Amino acid sequence: LAGQAIATGSPQGRFAAGAKRLSGRSLETVDAHGKHLFYRWQGAETLQVDLGLVGKFRLYGSDPQPPSVNTRLTMEGNEATVYLAGPTVCELISPAEEEAIRARLGPDPLRNGSANGKRKQFAANLTRRRIPIGAALLDQRIIAGIGNVYRAEALFRTGIDPHVPANELSADATVTLWSESARLLKQGEKAGRIITVDLADVDARRRSDLGRDERLYVYGRQGEPCRRCGTPVAITEMANRSMWWCPGCQPTGAGR
DNA sequence: GCTGCATGATGAA
DNA sequence: TCATCCTGCAGCA
Residues near chain B (nucleic strand), Cβ < 7 A?
A 34-35, 50, 52-54, 88-89, 138, 140, 146-149, 193-194, 220, 240-242
**Which bases along strand B come within 7 Å of a protein CB atom?**
6-10
The tens digit of pLDDT for each residue in A193-240 reads 899 999 888 877 676 667 767 899 999 999 999 999 999 999 999 999
Q: How far is the CA of A53 from the C1' of B3 (A)?
A: 19
Q: How far is the CA of A134 from the C1' of C4 (A)?
A: 24
What's the angle, vertex CA A141, arms to CA A136 and CA A147, rounded to 5? 55
What's the angle, vertex CA A209, arms to CA A205 and CA A211, rounded to 5? 105
- C-alpha distance from residue A158 to each of A46, A58, A125 (Å): 38, 34, 19
Angle between helices A115-127 and A171-191 (to 10 degrees): 120
Scanning every strand, the nucleotide with its C1' closest to A86's CA turns out to be: C6
The tens digit of pLDDT for each residue in A25-71 reads 999 999 999 999 999 999 999 999 999 999 999 999 989 999 999 99
d(CA A87, CA A55): 4
Give, as one character, the DSSP assignment of residue A225. Answer: B
